Amino acid sequence: MTIRIPEGHVARIEAHAAATYPEECIGALGGTADGDSRSIVEVWPLVNACIESRHSRSLIAPRDYQAVEREYTRRGLLLLGFYHSHPDHPAAPSSFDLEHALPWHSYLIVRVDRGHPTEMTAWVLREDRSTFDPEPMAVVQDGRAPTARGGDR
C-alpha cells in the first residue's frame, strides 16, 4: 500500500510541526483509498489535547475525532490517518504510538530538529498489533511524477 500526498500538504504538516516545536503537533489526514493506493487530499491540523508533557505526547480529543470523522464522511472522504511530530527525536514509532494505534490508518511522523522538520515517515499498524510496518509514501508534485519518500527505512 502506497500513500500519496501532495507536496503542499507535506509543507503544511511540516509548518504545523515547526510552529508547535518544542511541543508535538497532531492532525488528521483525509482522502481516498483505491485498491493498493491511498491519496491524501486534505490535512486537518488539530489541537494537541495533552495537558502535560506536550513535548513528548500528543492527543486528539475524542470530540475532535468525532467532528473530523463526521465531516469527512459528509464530504465523501475517508479518515485515512493521522500525523504527529517527534521533536528532536527520530521519525519512528514509539512503544507509546504502538499502544495507541489502530489498524488500517496511516500514521505519519515528522522529525523536528531544533525547530526544523528534517524527516517524514509513514507507518501502518500490523494486524496482530505487534509492530508498525513502514508504508511507502509518494510525494505528488504538480505536473510531475510522484517522488518516493520515507516509509522504507
Which residues of this protein are in contact with other proteins, per CB under 8 A?
Answer: 22, 24, 26, 50, 52-53, 55-62, 65-66, 69, 73, 78-79, 82, 84, 86-90, 94-97, 99-100, 102-105, 107, 109, 128-129
Name which of 62 and 143 has its Cβ closer to other proteins: 62
**Angstrom distance (rounded) from CA 42 to CA 44:** 6
CB of 143 to other proteins, least distance (A): 31
CB of 104 to other proteins, least distance (A): 4
CB of 126 to other proteins, least distance (A): 11
**Angstrom distance (rounded) from CA 146 to CA 65:** 30
Name which of 15 and 61 has its Cβ closer to other proteins: 61
CB of 110 to other proteins, least distance (A): 10
* Strands lying side by side in the sheet with 106-113: 132-134, 116-125, 106-113, 78-87, 26-34, 37-46, 2-6, 137-140, 147-149
**Angstrom distance (rounded) from CA 141 to CA 147:** 8
